[in-house]
Amino acid sequence: MSGNRTFTMIKPDAVAAGNTGAITKMIEEAGFRIVAMKKTKLSRERAGQFYAIHKERPFYEDLCNYMSSGPIIPMTLEKENAVEDFRTLIGATNPQEAAEGTIRKLFATSIEANAIHGSDSDENAEIESNFFFSRTEQF
């Protein structure tokens, strides 16, 4: 993937609130091309696998329960400098600290239910995309 792809999920709170279209529009208007996209739901076990890196954190159990509570929209995205530019577009983890105009500032309801995920590195973008999509689904 070498620097031009990232992975995102619109999280259960934002899907349930009917914000999928508005968020996807912001992503495309920011210059990201959708490489893969679907609507799905994580089991509690799969949510635990996705967030295994946070296993020792105090918020892990709640996070896994929340992330498996309803449908999500995973997407692989492409743009020059994708990982960093997408983190800028979504804003800080805590929506109270997120910059004006960012997706989390506009749509997140709490530090947990913060509307959207964004990969933190090129390596994790590839791992996370492959968690949801086969290679032939990413085009």
Angle 24-106-5 (CA atoms, 0-180°, nearest 5)?
40
93 binds ligand UDP (CB under 6 A): yes
User: Nearer Cβ to ligand UDP, position 51 or 137?
Assistant: 51
114 binds ligand UDP (CB under 6 A): yes
Structural tokens at position 93: 């983890």
Q: How far is the CB of 97 from Mg ion (least distance, A)?
A: 15
13 binds ligand UDP (CB under 6 A): no
Q: Which stretch binds ligand UDP (CB under 6 A): 41-49, 73-81, 110-118, 121-129?
A: 110-118
Q: Give 72's strand partners.
A: 40
Contacts of 50 (CB under 8 A, 6+ apart): 42, 67, 128, 131
Out of 78, 120, 122, 137, the residue judged to bind ligand UDP by CB under 6 A: 120
Asked if residues 64 and 47 have their Cβ atoms less than 8 Å apart, the reply is yes
Three-state SS letters, 51-81:
CHHHCCCCCHHHHHHHHCCCCEEEEEEECCC
For the segment 39-78, give every residue that binds ligand UDP (CB under 6 A): 59, 63
**Could you give the string, one character per residue 94-123, with x where binding to Mg ion holds by CB under 5 A and - elsewhere?**
--------------------------x---
Say how many Å lie between the first and final Cα of the chain, rounded. 12
Q: One of 48, 95, 117, 119 is an active-site residue; which one? A: 117
Amino acid at 40: T
CA distance 122 to 36: 16
User: Nearer Cβ to ligand UDP, position 113 or 134?
Assistant: 113
Interface with ligand UDP by CB under 6 A: which residues?
Answer: 59, 63, 93, 111-112, 114, 117, 120
